[in-house]
Structures are given as structure tokens and as C-alpha cells.
Amino acid sequence: MEYLLGFTIATFIGLTGVGAGTMTTPLLILLLGMPTSQAVGTALIFGAFVKIITTPFYWRRGQIDKVALMYLLGTGLPGVLIGSLLLSGIKSDWVTVFVGLTIMIVSTFNLFRFKAGESVDRKPWLAFVALPIGLEVGFSSAGAGALGSLALMNLTKLSPAAVVGTDLTFGLVLNFVGGGIRAAMGDLNGPILTKLLIGGAVGAIIGSLLAQKLPSKKLKFVLCLALVALGGRLAWTGIATHL
């Protein structure tokens, strides 16, 4: 199950650029019964691994804007630190509810990427939006892909490829830092992560190759709709324990 799960998630990430946190965390909770805090930590490390495979291609092609990346990391890193620490102080059931709602909101935001209007060059504004994005990533593992790319699309004049490359690098750093914090606090399932990584390595390569042939926009749209439903199911799981 874990091998197939890692393969499937990584394939969708390679195809669409979406799903490192929004897919992994709820599936670990709902399918494998993993505790929420442990699922978040495992998802962060898994997401970092998948992005390590894809990000170097963008670096080599010069499709990462270093100025925009520095604005994002300047406040995003403190945000992920705070978000990771907040997770340890909240009751597990309410964390599950919050993670589910976060995934619903992030996936809904991602749907608006298909309707984004003409962009403007306001890179310094990225520093203001990166802090709450970092908080979301540290707390729920979700947000770097959907919200980060949405901010880049609307606040910069970067090409679509540069938006993806810059956002992947931003997400890679946040996932690595947030996952490291969660692992240090014991919120990591090593055996399951290993199986996810084995399946994910194959899925990331296949997804990247298929992305050149399949209609990624349509796949991304369908995936986001599914994630809205998945987030709702996860939120209801947490709420139901109090009914």
C-alpha cells in the first residue's frame, strides 16, 4: 500500500506540480490511520524528496527567479518554524479538522490559478504573503505549491515555467526545514516514509515524463476538485469525534 501511495502521489506531483502536502497528509491519515502530527511530518519530508528530484532541472534551465525566491524565503522560513511549533500544542482532533479545512481552502485557491488575470511586478509584496504560507506549511504541510504559485502569478511577471521553478524551490526549502523540525520532535514514521520514498522516486520520474504528453491543466483541475472533497472528508473525520 505505501509503495503504491508514494508512487501515485509523486506521479501527480510530476504531472501537475500540485499535491506534495495536500495529497500526502490526508491520505496518510485516512488510509493508513497515521496520527495527524506524524502524518504532517512524514508528508513534509516526502514532499521535499520529490521536489529534490524535479527542482534541479529548473535550476539548469535558468527558470528560477532568485530575487522572488529570497523575498519568499525571508518570511516563509520564520513562518514554517512557528507553524511547526504550533502543531505540538493543539489537541490531535482539532489539528485534523484544521488540516482538512486548510486543504480545502488551499485546493480552492489553486482552482483560481486557471483564471488568474494579468500579472504585475510587485515582488516585494511576496514577503508579506510568504509568512502566512509558511505558517500553513509548518502546521499542515499544505500551501507552498498552491498559494506560493498563486502569489507568484499575481505579483510578478515571471513566465509559467519560472513560476513553477521558483515555487518548487520555495516549497523544497520549507518542506525540508518543517520536516526536519517535525522529525526532531518525533513526528515522523520512518518505515512508512521509506516505502513512500521508494514508490515516489519512480512516480516522480514517470510523472515528469508524462507531463510533456498529457493535458496538465485538465489533470490539475480534476485533482484540485478531488482534493477539496478529500479535505472535507478529513475535516469531518475530526469533527465527528466530538459529536
**What are the pLDDT digits (tens) for 6-22?**
888 888 776 666 667 77
Q: Cα separations (Å) of 11 from 15, 18, 23, 242? A: 6, 10, 12, 36
Lowest model confidence (mean pLDDT) among 32-41, 42-51, 219-228: 219-228
Name the residue with cell 532541472.
57
Name the residue with cell 478531488.
226
What mean pLDDT, rounded, does the chain reach?
79
Distance from chain centroid for Cα 122: 24
Radius of gyration of the chain from Cα atoms? 16
**Residue 5 clears pLDDT 80, i.e. is over it:** yes
Section 98-109 average pLDDT: 72
Q: What pLDDT is attached to residue 71?
A: 95
Q: What pLDDT is attached to residue 87?
A: 63
Section 172-188 average pLDDT: 87
| Of 45, 29, 27, nearest in space to 37 by CA | 29
CB 66: neighbour CB atoms within 10 A? 9
Residue-wise pLDDT tens digits, 62-96: 889 999 999 999 999 998 888 877 766 665 566 66
Contact between 103 and 230 under an 8 Å Cβ cutoff? The reply is yes
CB-based burial label for 234 (10 Å; 0-12, 13-18, 19+): buried
Q: What pLDDT is attached to residue 22?
A: 73
Provide the 8-state DSSP code for 214: S
How far apart CA 38 and CA 207 sit, in angstroms, is 26
Contact between 100 and 39 under an 8 Å Cβ cutoff? The reply is no
Counting every residue, how long is the chain?
243
Residue-wise pLDDT tens digits, 116-167: 555 567 889 999 988 888 887 887 777 677 678 778 877 888 877 787 788 8
Q: What pLDDT is attached to residue 197?
A: 92
| Of 2, 45, 40, nearest in space to 22 by CA | 40
Q: What pLDDT is attached to residue 45?
A: 92
H/E element, 70: helix 66-87
**Residue 168 clears pLDDT 80, i.e. is over it:** yes
Contact between 208 and 14 under an 8 Å Cβ cutoff? The reply is yes
Q: What pLDDT is attached to residue 173?
A: 92
Q: What pLDDT is attached to residue 215?
A: 62
Q: What pLDDT is attached to residue 65?
A: 92
Lowest model confidence (mean pLDDT) among 45-59, 88-102, 199-213: 88-102
Domain count, the chain: 1
Q: What is the dihedral of CA 157, 162, 164, 166, to 10 degrees?
A: -90
Q: What pLDDT is attached to residue 51?
A: 84
**Structural domain of residue 129, as residue ranges?**
2-240
